[in-house]
């Protein structure tokens, strides 16, 4: 990622952070709208805590966006945990779309094409690490 992309992510997330819980509600509403079959994965989840966890995770990622290598182990662990929740690699596309849609709502006109592309690049990098870790868990279990 370029320094410009990193700054766009930091600046844009800074605009969303004040409405963190509302943004998380928008995210999960959009996720379940895009793919209702994902909702059962959260049937026994405290969604208030889940929304808080989502925003805390995004905060860590954004703060580390210029040094992603430092959070790779945590992202790998997150991927491994998601394998245990029944998440599949195919679901990451829907999650990414829900994230982009949430940012579009939360940022309005500030969610420019350049900003969107920065988020796409960051999400692609991080989701690839998570998927690789998930597949590693499945390989070990086989």
Which CATH class, in words, describes the domain spanning 3-141?
mainly alpha
140 has pLDDT over 70: no
Is residue 122 a contact partner of residue 61, using CB atoms and an 8 Å limit?
yes
Is residue 99 a contact partner of residue 55, using CB atoms and an 8 Å limit?
no
pLDDT the model gives residue 139: 62
Nearest to 24 by CA among 125, 105, 118: 105
Q: For 11-33, what is the mean pLDDT?
A: 96
The rounded mean pLDDT for the chain is 93
Cα distance from N-terminal residue to C-terminal residue, the chain: 35
Q: Which pLDDT tens digit goes with each residue over 84-136?
A: 888 999 999 999 999 999 999 999 999 999 999 999 999 999 999 999 999 88
What percentage of the chain reaches a pLDDT higher than 70?
Answer: 96
Q: For 40-52, what is the mean pLDDT?
A: 94
Q: Give residue limits of the domains in the chain.
A: 3-141
138 has pLDDT over 70: no
């Amino acid at each position: 990622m370029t320094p410009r992309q990193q700054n766009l992510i930091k600046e844009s997330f800074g605009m969303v952070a004040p409405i963190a819980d509302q943004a998380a509600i928008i995210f999960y509403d959009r996720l379940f709208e895009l793919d209702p079959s994902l909702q059962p994965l959260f049937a026994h989840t405290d969604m208030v805590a889940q929304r808080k966890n989502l925003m805390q995770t995004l905060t860590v990622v954004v703060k580390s966006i210029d040094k992603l290598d430092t959070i790779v182990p945590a992202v790998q662990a997150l991927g491994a945990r998601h394998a245990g929740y029944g998440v599949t690699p195919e679901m990451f596309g829907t999650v990414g779309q829900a994230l982009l849609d949430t940012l579009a709502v939360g940022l309005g006109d500030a969610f420019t094409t350049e900003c969107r592309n920065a988020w796409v690049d960051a999400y692609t990098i991080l989701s690839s690490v998570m998927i690789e870790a998930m597949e590693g868990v499945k390989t070990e279990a086989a």
